[in-house]
């Protein structure tokens, strides 16, 4: 009999699992009719074109959430027109650009009205199944077997070819073209400078031995279905010991053996959002950097807004410092001392600063611009503000400088010291080098063809407090001399000495692309690299600068 037992007084009046309202799985009332084939095609288009910004489960990040509760409120006509024409806030004009046919736009407008399918998980059995040691460590050379100046080699992504090109930074010759995953996102170099790691969008990691007579893959693995980041351990005493890769789907990271890519430890990043403390099913792994101050990897978890500092000294008793930062963490880099990690919470318009020595949050600062997008950013010494780190923006034409010298310039430290205008919105990357007096800012995704094919250059020694700096515009696309298509210029990257800066002139895969090399002192064209093998070049990574985090 209720009431007789005193324990009943403590029973919370909560809904139990058995009482929750559920819907019958399968087709629901009001669902648009779609055949299995159409749904399959919609899923393919969604994963290829939309998931990067909106998320696999459509919870939103750089792009708006697209769960059916929201899409159904907007309705078919609105969605159809949005997909066709895009928006100034960053949604591409898939229809009018011709990238999607009218029929595909119609398909996608219906597709997003339905519940998103959940792709399968990818755990240890799947990873082991994909893992290949192509050349065992004992069969690899014991010294460098080629005549390449490895430190000045450039690893260049050939996006749509699913390859990278290794280009000699001294002679501009393509030394090797190596098969990789699809659309390699970044290249990273082991602490010793010997191994090159790349990760494709399809989450395939290739480990390339630069000592071989013909550098090629010595190990490979697939760590999920969708990924963007890879890195290797850089702490003294732990050089080349581990590699790590982060996945978008499933949301997880994996720590691997640094010699063979054998997967050792997979950690899911699913969990609660840092501030609301509500569960998120898809917190994707964005940028990963290796700490120089502790044996740790620094991992951006995008949707939950957490930065993880994962100690790799004892994988069995894994210690992680979990820092509450800001939602939508994306890319970032170290300051010139390598002590501080500065990263963009891009959809929040903020920069987050972490002290990698103390393992603590230092600051969260609004940039004043829309959607900061630094890549690894650019470190230089401003004549008035001292050491600063710079980001450009995807959503507007501004460049923001954050002070990075709390000892010498406490006034500016971790605050926006200055902000000025570059060429236009749609910038992806910004770059300088300790030996350069120039700051280069691209405008890759600017809707204007001429702007997207140009680069702004600021002279650092001319920068002054309260004076809007002037810039020189370099017509990189025009210099490439490509008549066909609408190539975009992306990602400045310096050679080892900091005397030349390289740009990708990124055209459609059936059109001519190029790499344009500019003399950093004179700002004159030095070389146009064209080759039928240079299909859709995007990111370029100089071995020495990437190995030593010089940027």
Least distance CB 87 / ligand DHE (angstroms): 16
* Candidate list 186, 210, 345, 515; residue touching ligand DHE; CB under 6 A: 186
**Footprint (CB under 6 A) of ligand DHE, residues 96-155:** none
Stretch that binds ligand DHE, among 163-171, 180-188, 303-311, 402-410 (CB under 6 A): 180-188
Q: Is the Cβ of residue 178 or residue 288 nearer to ligand DHE in the bound state?
A: 288
The strand pair at 279-280 and 285-290 is best described as unpaired
Mark residues 261-300: x for contact with ligand DHE by CB under 6 A, - for none. Answer: -------------------------xxx------------
Q: Reduced to 3 states, what is the DSSP secondary structure of residue 9?
A: helix
Using the rule CB under 6 A, is 301 a contact of ligand DHE?
no
Using the rule CB under 6 A, is 58 a contact of ligand DHE?
no
β strands within 190-284, DSSP E: 195-199, 204-209, 216-222, 226-232, 242-249, 252-257, 263-268, 271-272, 279-280
Least distance CB 6 / ligand DHE (angstroms): 55
Q: What proportions of the chain, in percent to the nearest 5, are helix, strand and coil?
A: 15, 35, 50
Using the rule CB under 6 A, is 375 a contact of ligand DHE?
yes
Least distance CB 128 / ligand DHE (angstroms): 24
- Which residue has the closest beta carbon to ligand DHE? 52
342, two tokens? 């500065």
Q: Is the Cβ of residue 376 or residue 496 nearer to ligand DHE in the bound state?
A: 376
Least distance CB 212 / ligand DHE (angstroms): 25
* Candidate list 292, 330, 348, 350; residue touching ligand DHE; CB under 6 A: 330
**Footprint (CB under 6 A) of ligand DHE, residues 410-449:** 428-429
Q: Residue 483: how many CB atoms within 10 A of its CB?
A: 6
C-alpha–C-alpha distance, residues 394 and 372, integer Å: 6
Q: Is the Cβ of residue 66 or residue 212 nearer to ligand DHE in the bound state?
A: 66
Least distance CB 136 / ligand DHE (angstroms): 28
Using the rule CB under 6 A, is 376 a contact of ligand DHE?
yes
Q: What are phi and psi of 231, to 5 degrees?
A: -160, 165
- The DSSP code sequence of 373-439 is --TT-EEEEETTTEEEEEEEBSSSSEEEEEE--TTT-TTTBTSEEEEEE-S-S----EE--TT-SEE
Is residue 465 within a helix (H) or strand (E), and if so which, with residue range?
none
Using the rule CB under 6 A, is 331 a contact of ligand DHE?
yes
Least distance CB 371 / ligand DHE (angstroms): 10
Q: Is the Cβ of residue 287 or residue 518 nearer to ligand DHE in the bound state?
A: 287
Is residue 291 within a helix (H) or strand (E), and if so which, with residue range?
none
Q: Reduced to 3 states, what is the DSSP secondary structure of residue 457?
A: strand
C-alpha–C-alpha distance, residues 55 and 165, integer Å: 30
* Candidate list 233, 304, 491, 545; residue touching ligand DHE; CB under 6 A: 491
Stretch that binds ligand DHE, among 3-11, 143-151, 181-189, 406-414 (CB under 6 A): 181-189
Q: Is the Cβ of residue 293 or residue 297 nearer to ligand DHE in the bound state?
A: 297
Using the rule CB under 6 A, is 183 a contact of ligand DHE?
yes
Establish how many alpha carbons lie within 13 A of residue 331's alpha carbon, considering only the half-sphere containing its beta carbon: 22
Number of residues that bind ligand DHE (CB under 6 A): 22
The catalytic site residues sit at 50, 53-54, 91, 330, 373
C-alpha–C-alpha distance, residues 16 and 303, integer Å: 28
Least distance CB 369 / ligand DHE (angstroms): 17
Mark residues 492-531: x for contact with ligand DHE by CB under 6 A, - for none. Answer: ----------------------------------------
* Candidate list 58, 194, 204, 228; residue touching ligand DHE; CB under 6 A: 228
C-alpha–C-alpha distance, residues 543 and 377, integer Å: 17
Handedness of CA 370, 396, 523, 488 (dihedral sign): positive
Residue 199 · residue 228 · CB < 8 Å: yes
Using the rule CB under 6 A, is 185 a contact of ligand DHE?
yes
Q: Is the Cβ of residue 212 or residue 301 nearer to ligand DHE in the bound state?
A: 301
Peptide bond just before 250 cis, omega within 30 deg: yes
| Cα angle: 378, vertex 379, 382; to 5 degrees | 115
C-alpha–C-alpha distance, residues 102 and 348, integer Å: 33
Report the interface residues with ligand DHE, using CB under 6 A.
52-53, 62, 159, 183, 185-186, 228-229, 286-288, 330-331, 375-376, 428-429, 490-491, 538-539
């Amino acid at each position: 009999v209720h009431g007789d037992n005193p324990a009943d007084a403590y029973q919370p009046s909560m809904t139990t699992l058995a009482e929750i309202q559920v819907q019958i799985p399968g087709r629901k009332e009001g669902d648009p009719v779609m055949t299995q084939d159409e749904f399959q095609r919609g899923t393919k288009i969604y994963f290829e074109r939309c998931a990067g910004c909106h998320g696999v489960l459509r919870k939103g990040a750089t792009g708006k959430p697209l769960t059916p509760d929201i899409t159904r409120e907007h309705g078919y006509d609105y969605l159809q027109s949005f997909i066709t024409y895009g928006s100034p806030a960053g949604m591409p004009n898939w229809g009018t650009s011709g990238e999607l046919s009218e029929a595909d736009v119609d398909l996608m407008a219906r597709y997003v009205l339905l519940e998103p399918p959940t792709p399968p998980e990818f755990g240890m059995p799947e990873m082991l199944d994909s893992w290949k040691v192509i050349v065992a460590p004992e069969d690899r050379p014991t010294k460098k077997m080629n005549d390449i100046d490895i430190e000045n080699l450039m690893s260049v992504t050939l996006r749509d070819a699913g390859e990278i090109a290794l280009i000699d930074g001294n002679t501009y010759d393509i030394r090797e073209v190596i098969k990789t995953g699809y659309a390699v996102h970044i290249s990273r170099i082991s602490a010793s400078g010997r191994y090159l790691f790349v990760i494709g969008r399809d989450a395939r990691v290739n480990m390339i031995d630069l000592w071989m007579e013909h550098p090629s893959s010595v190990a490979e693995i697939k760590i999920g279905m969708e990924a963007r980041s890879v890195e290797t351990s850089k702490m003294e005493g732990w050089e080349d010991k581990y590699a790590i890769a982060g996945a978008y789907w499933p949301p997880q990271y994996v720590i691997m053996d640094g010699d063979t890519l054998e997967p050792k430890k997979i950690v899911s990043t699913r969990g609660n959002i840092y501030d609301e403390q509500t569960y998120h099913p898809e917190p994707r792994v964005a940028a990963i950097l290796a700490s120089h101050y502790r044996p740790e990897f620094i991992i951006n978890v995008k949707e939950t807004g957490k930065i993880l500092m994962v100690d790799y000294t004892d994988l069995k008793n894994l210690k992680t410092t979990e820092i509450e930062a800001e939602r939508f963490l994306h890319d970032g880099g170290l300051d010139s001392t390598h002590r501080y990690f500065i990263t963009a919470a891009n959809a929040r318009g903020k920069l987050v600063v972490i002290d990698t020595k103390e393992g603590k949050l230092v600051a969260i600062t609004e940039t004043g611009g829309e959607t900061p997008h630094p890549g690894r950013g650019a470190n230089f010494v401003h004549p008035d503000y001292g050491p600063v780190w710079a980001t450009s923006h995807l959503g507007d034409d501004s460049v923001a400088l954050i002070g990075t010298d709390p000892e010498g310039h406490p006034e500016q430290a971790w605050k926006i010291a200055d902000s000025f205008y570059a060429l236009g919105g749609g910038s992806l990357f910004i770059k300088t080098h300790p030996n350069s007096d120039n700051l280069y800012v691209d405008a890759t995704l600017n809707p204007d063809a001429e702007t997207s094919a140009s680069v702004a250059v600021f002279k650092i020694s001319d920068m002054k407090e309260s004076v809007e700096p002037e810039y020189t515009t370099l017509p990189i696309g025009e210099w490439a001399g490509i008549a066909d298509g609408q190539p975009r210029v992306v990602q400045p990257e310096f050679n080892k000495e900091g005397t030349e800066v390289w740009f990708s002139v990124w055209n459609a895969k059936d059109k001519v692309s190029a790499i344009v090399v500019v003399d950093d002192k004179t700002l004159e064209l030095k070389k146009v690299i064209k080759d039928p093998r240079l299909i859709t070049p995007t990111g370029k990574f100089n071995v020495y600068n990437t190995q030593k985090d010089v940027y």
